[in-house]
Amino acid sequence: MVMLYNKTLSTFVQRYMYSMKKSVFIIIGAVIAITVVALLAFDQPEKAVNKPDSIKAPALPEKLLFAGESVPMKDFDVRERFDRELMINTFYHSQTLFALKKTKRFFPVMEAVMKKNGLPDDFKYLAVAESGLDNVVSPAKAEGFWQFLESTGKRYGLEINEEVDERYHLEKATEAACKYLKDNKEKLGNWTLAAAAYNMGENGVDNAIKKQGVGSYYDLLLNKETSRYLFRILAIKEIYSNPAKYGFVIDSAEYYPTIETYTVTLDSAVDNLAQYAISQGINYKVLKLLNPWLRKPYLKNKAKKTYTIVLPKDKSFITPPAITPVSPATGEETE
């Protein structure tokens, strides 16, 4: 009996050990299989949630016009320079979206002035290229939407002093830009070169034409900034004319609305523009937002000029003043 028991126990142990070995091999095999699958998956292109499978360059249009003038897209250099600016502006998401949202507010103002002055509508995209539709100041001290230097602004009739800077007056600055661009076109022969001269200066473009013996912007070898300049404008025009095509989807309600305004005149000094704003049922912030050409918190107006101030028709969003503003202690403007 003991021998039979021992033999039975031995058989059971052997079978148990065999079963254990088999389970270990199964586990090891499963681990190997999982590892292989994981490695293969790791080697595949990432397909993360909410991310595109790939980043694709936008297709180039076969035909382009600037101010009615044809762009020679069959020239490989022209195609590649435009391609670069189209890609940069297509994937410059936040800045492009922000400027696009402002177009409904500012483009109508600019378009009306340009139409009155006989300037092609495409030049509104030059202002976008210059400033992004913002009153910025460049390192060279060019200022406003149209980025006028002080000397050029004064040459084209803008008042620029410590109290008033009409480079920040959208209608008047657009008027000056129209005159400047039309002068460039008269001197250089076409709108494309007039646009290039807005960046490089009319004398710089004229000298390049004379030295190189060609009369087209697309044939000139210019400095890096000016050689990119018109293509940046063309890329902005293409994207802003077809925003959804380039991935910019903005609901109509998301555009910044036009502000309905009325005007009043000022022909005397104002010691405190904050107090003046309150007297008109608004506040200093709103006064400056609608009249950014007022550069100080006062208007001495020693020349006794008559200025037109823009005020909002709807004042329901303005909180009544809590205190009466005191006269400004300094002449420093706070932005």
Which residues, other chains included, contact 78 with Cβ-Cβ below 8 Å and sequence gap of 6+? 71, 72, 218
Phi-psi map region of 88: left, alpha, beta (phi>0 left; psi -120 to 50 alpha): alpha
Nearest to 100 by CA among 240, 257, 249: 240
The per-residue pLDDT for 4 is 42
pLDDT for residue 49: 47
Q: Contact, 193 vs 205, CB < 8 A?
A: yes
Pairing mode of beta strands 69-70, 261-266: unpaired
For residue 273, give the nearest of 283, 264, 281, 265 by alpha carbon: 283
What one-letter code names the amino acid at 121? D
| Number of neighbouring beta carbons within 10 Å of residue 56 | 7
pLDDT at 322: 76
Q: What pLDDT does 6 receive?
A: 47
Provide the phi-psi class of 134: left if phi over 0, else alpha when psi is between -120 and 50, else beta: beta
The vertex-120 CA angle with 118 and 125, nearest 5°, equals 135
Q: Which residues make Cβ contacts (< 8 Å) with residue 236, sequence separation at least 6? A: 89, 125, 128, 129
The alpha carbons of the chain give a radius of gyration, in whole angstroms, of 33
Q: How far is CA 188 from CA 199, 214, 218, 221, 308, in A?
A: 14, 12, 14, 16, 36
- What string of pLDDT tens digits covers the 335 residues of the chain? 544 444 454 554 455 455 555 555 555 655 565 665 555 555 554 444 455 567 888 889 989 999 999 999 999 999 999 999 999 999 988 999 999 999 999 999 999 999 999 999 999 999 999 999 999 999 999 999 999 999 999 999 999 999 999 999 999 999 999 999 999 999 999 999 999 999 999 999 999 999 999 999 999 999 999 999 999 999 999 999 999 999 999 999 999 999 999 999 999 999 999 999 999 999 999 999 999 999 999 999 999 999 999 999 999 988 888 777 777 766 555 55
Q: Which residues of 145-165 are buried (b: 16+ CB within 10 A; e: fewer)?
A: bbbbbeebbbebebbbeebbb
Domain ranges of the chain: 1-51, 65-254, 260-335
**Quick check: 114 and 123 in contact, CB under 8 A?**
yes
Q: At what angle do helices 170-188 and 191-200 cross, to 10 degrees?
A: 110
Handedness of CA 268, 269, 273, 278 (dihedral sign): negative
- Burial string for 232-249 (b: 16+ CB within 10 Å, else e) reads bbbbbbbbbeebeebebe
Tokens of 173: 């600055």
For domain 65-254, the CATH class is mainly alpha
**How many degrees, rounded to 5, is the angle at CA 110 between CA 260 and CA 286?**
40
- 98 — phi, psi (to 5°)? -65, -45
